[in-house]
């Protein structure tokens, strides 16, 4: 087993430099890092994000083409009867809650925003069923604005790389935000998610082929 050379007593500045180095390597390793949910507008992305809870992007991408061609506006979604929607999204799991969440959310979009998804983080997190992760995903991927998407992969990688000691996603978001310039937050978090999904996996991280192993205090090979 190769020992890490990372000194965990590093100063905040040293950690920022290590984070920048890691980011450069991750960008090279994952040049296409992006949201893997298929969508063509902010409404589709927010619906896909709700469907992706406890499911996989691949599974959601199998279900959404038929839905997106049938329901094009927030009003279309808000008017689908609960039971009908449940059947249509059943394969993504937790379909009752998700159908309810989609109907409640889209009703609110119609009532408050004329059916549009607001391009504002605070307005997004105030919507029913929309947490910080989804709000950041929409800001980054649908609107091209800065945001740090802390999902299970990003959170695990951030801990293994000693970018954070926190487990609360909002605190992890703050810790990561302090390491990387705001303009790069979106790209950085997509890289972190890709790295967690395809290399630094939950059960068996593939440290022997990891592009950032030299800068990782948790390497196991």
* Number of neighbouring beta carbons within 10 Å of residue 106: 26
Q: Which residue shows structure tokens 């809870």? A: 53
* Known catalytic membership, residue 151: yes
8 Å CB contact between 25 and 212: yes
Residue 10 or residue 119: which is nearer to ligand SF4 going by CB? 10
Binding mask 145-184 for ligand SF4 (x = CB under 6 A): ---------------xx-----------------------
Sole window of 40-48, 97-105, 139-147, 209-217 interacting with ligand SF4 (rule: CB under 6 A): 209-217
Catalytic residue chosen out of the listed positions 32, 57, 70, 133: 133
CB of 151 to ligand SF4, least distance (A): 16
Angle subtended by helix axes 185-198 and 152-160, to nearest 10: 90
Give the residue from 157, 112, 171, 145 showing the smallest Cα distance to 45.
145
Span near ligand SF4 by CB under 6 A; candidates 7-15, 34-42, 61-69, 203-211:
203-211
Cα 128-130-131 angle, rounded to 5 deg? 130
Q: Which residue stretch of 55-63, 104-112, 165-173, 210-218 sits at the interface with ligand SF4 (rule: CB under 6 A)?
A: 210-218
Per the CB < 8 A criterion, the answer to whether 191 and 23 are in contact is yes
Q: Which two tokens stand for residue 38?
A: 């298929």
Interface residue list for ligand SF4 (CB under 6 A): 160-161, 199-200, 205-207, 210, 212-213, 216, 218-219
């Amino acid at each position: 087993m190769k020992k890490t050379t990372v000194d965990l007593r590093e100063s905040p500045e040293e950690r920022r430099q290590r984070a920048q180095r890691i980011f450069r390597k991750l960008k090279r390793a994952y040049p296409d890092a992006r949201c893997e949910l298929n969508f063509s507008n902010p409404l589709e992305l927010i619906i896909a994000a709700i469907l992706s809870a406890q499911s996989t992007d691949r599974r959601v991408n199998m279900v959404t083409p038929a839905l997106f061609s049938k329901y094009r506006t927030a009003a279309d979604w808000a008017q689908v009867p609960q039971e009908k929607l449940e059947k249509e999204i059943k394969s993504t799991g937790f379909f009752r809650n998700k159908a309810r969440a989609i109907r409640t959310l889209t009703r609110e979009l119609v009532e408050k925003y004329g059916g549009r998804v607001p391009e504002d983080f605070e307005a997004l997190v105030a919507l029913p069923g929309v947490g910080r992760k989804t709000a950041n995903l929409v800001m980054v991927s649908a609107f091209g604005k800065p945001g740090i998407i802390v999902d299970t992969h990003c959170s695990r990688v951030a801990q293994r790389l000693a970018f954070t000691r926190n487990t609360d996603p909002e605190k992890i978001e703050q810790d990561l935000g302090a390491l990387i310039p705001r303009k790069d937050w979106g790209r950085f978090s997509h890289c972190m998610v890709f790295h967690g999904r395809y290399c630094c996996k939950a059960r068996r991280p593939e440290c022997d082929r990891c592009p950032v192993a030299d800068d990782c205090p948790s390497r196991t090979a």
